[in-house]
Structure formats: structure tokens, C-alpha cells
Homo-oligomer: A and B are copies of this chain.
């Protein structure tokens, strides 16, 4: 680390404009101005790991009113590689997407490599999962990478310790949080682009006192927004909701709050009600490719024999192109026949469903009818088919 790095506490860049426009209990609606456009919150960000949201064109995403997508720094760093991203002038230009992009820091992926990585104060050394070559990710390098990507929102480099089955002890959690704080400061010092916002990631597992302590370390620093990291990694759902309920209201009122890697439709409504503004998750895309549809009546496994002659739309309450133009019977046929169109049409519906749900939550917050909206959602989901 250079000794001439800027003081991380210094406000060198204007923070992104974010205004809370409406409130309903802890839930809020807001508007966030990013380099590539305005985003209304609460918002769901489809995951576009390697420079494409699997199965959808940018045009299809726009038709579904997707306002912002997520890219994965680790994957983009490996493929197509920074030189290729740089030649294109960034990820937006390369993938023909002119709306905002948020990128993670790569931390989550690198720590998941387990046997293949070594954590040092400087950063994480790892062998990649493709050809085993060795790399070093540091707070400085991941900021530089995200600036090459040209992310509207960059995430600080953090350590995300496993919870649940592989639970780590408090002492490990404490050491890891302290390192994450030091790395967060180095990320701030490493920033050079005023048009790439930077969010911090708060950790602490489901230990509320540790979470509290981490907030106290990170909140004084000039981040554009704050993420709740380290959840939805194996812990029980009620524990996750409790943690969000305790932490979200303590995040700055005037900064966006992002719950990373979450979640199911149920998670979205529960956590919006607890004050979260931003979500990302692979469920609508990954499960879509496996033939699982999210609907107002719960989940649907389209390959089931019961849909062979089902002439209804996937979701009678949905106005997406899949539900407007195609029957369940045809979708099942495409899925059974392993046709590419199946993955496209199912993913298209799922993304529409998530975006409609989050849009419904925004409308309900504005109308002050959030509880009724959530009760209606849950009543519908209770009809989910068994096994889905």
C-alpha cells in the first residue's frame, strides 16, 4: 500500500444523489441517481455474471423494466479479461446495456474457492476455477477492476464468512470484520472515478452485537451506500429476517441499503418491509433455466406431466410476453425437448415476475397499503404446488 494513498475519511467524491420519497413503516421508496440513469427503489437487480443475464437480450431486459443489473467482477476479470473490457470502454459498451450496472467485488467468489486461496492482509491469493492460474485480489486491484468495468456502483472488497452448517466462531468473525473494515478504507483510498459509486459491505453474521460494532466502524466513512453482507449463506430464514430487522433501520436514512444475494419473492417482501432498498439474486434466472417458474400462485415446475395438456398461461395475473403468448403445455413441450426457447421464455417470465413484484411493493409503499399487499402475495403463494 502506498503511503501517499488519500485519507479514506476524506470526501473526495460527491456521493450519489439518493432521496427517500415515501415511507410505510420501516419500508421506503427512494430515487437514486447513477451515472447511467435513475433507479427507483426498492429495486431488484437480475444477475448478469459474465456480461449477460443468462437467456435474455438487453432488449428483453428493458421490456421487463429492468433498471439495473449486477455483474460479477471475479468472472469478468477471468473472462473476457480486463484488456478486452478496456478495449470496449467498459462493460456497458461491450454488452450493449446503457442502464446502470452494479458489480460485486469478487470477494464472495474468491472466498468460496476454499482450498484454492490464501488470505493475507494484503489481499487474497487464489487459483481460478477455469485453468488454475494464480491471481492476487487486493482492495486496490478490485477497485481498479471495477473502474475498468465502469460500474455505476462498485462494492468494497470484503470477506464473507460462511454461516449455518459451516459456522465459524465469534473470534474468526471478529478478525474477519476488522480486516473487512481495513480493506473498506483501502477501497475508498483507491477510488479514482467520480462516476463509479462505492458501497460498503457490513458483516457480522447473525451476531447482532458484532453487526453493531461493524456498523460503527463503517458508517462514519464516506460510502455512497451500505450493503448487508453475509446473509442468505446457510442460516435459517427467521434468523436472517431478525438480523435484517435489527440492522436495516440503523443504516443511514439518506443512503441506499442493499441486501446482497437475496432472495426469494418471500424474502423480498419480508425485507422491503424491514427497510431494505436493493436486492440481487440468481433465483429467477437459474431456477428459470431449470424450469421453475415464480408465479402469483407460488412456484411451478413446468416439466411436470400435469402440464402436458394445460392450455392456461403460466400466471393468469401476469402480462409478460410468455404469459401473453404461450400455454403451459407449449412451455412444457419446449422444456422436455430441451429447446433453448424454454430457458428464454421461463427466465423472461421470472424476471417480469420479480420486477412486477418489486414494482408492486413500491406502489403499495406509496399508497400506504404495504401490509395488505404483502398479505395478498402470501395468500397467493400458499397455493404453490408441492415439491416446487
Q: Is the beta-carbon distance between B52 and A309 smaller than 8 angstroms?
A: no
- Do most interface residues of chain A lie in helix, strand or loop, or is the interface mixed? helix
Chain B residue, CB-CB nearest to A95: B330
Contact string against B for A residues 323-338, beta-carbon threshold 8 Å, 1 for contact and 0 otherwise = 0011101101110110
**B residues in contact with A80, CB < 8 Å:** 308, 329-330, 332-333
Stretch from A226-234, A265-273, A339-347, A373-381 that touches the partner: A339-347
Stretch from A17-25, A82-90, A155-163 that touches the partner: A82-90
Q: Is the beta-carbon distance between B94 and A327 smaller than 8 angstroms?
A: yes
Q: Is the beta-carbon distance between A79 and B340 smaller than 8 angstroms?
A: no
Interface size class of A (residues with CB under 8 A): 35 or more
Which of B308, B309, B333 touches A51 (beta carbons < 8 Å)? B333
Name the distance in Å between A126's Cβ and chain B's nearest Cβ: 19
**B residues in contact with A326, CB < 8 Å:** 96
Q: Is the beta-carbon distance between A51 and B329 smaller than 8 angstroms?
A: no
Which of B88, B325, B329, B339 touches A84 (beta carbons < 8 Å)? B329
Chain B residue, CB-CB nearest to A81: B308
Q: How far is the CA of A332 from the CA of B84 in the complex (A)?
A: 11
**B residues in contact with A334, CB < 8 Å:** 50-52
**B residues in contact with A337, CB < 8 Å:** 50, 79
- Contact A339/B52 with A57-B344, A80-B329, A344-B57 known, Cβ cut-off 8 Å: yes
Chain B residue, CB-CB nearest to A52: B341
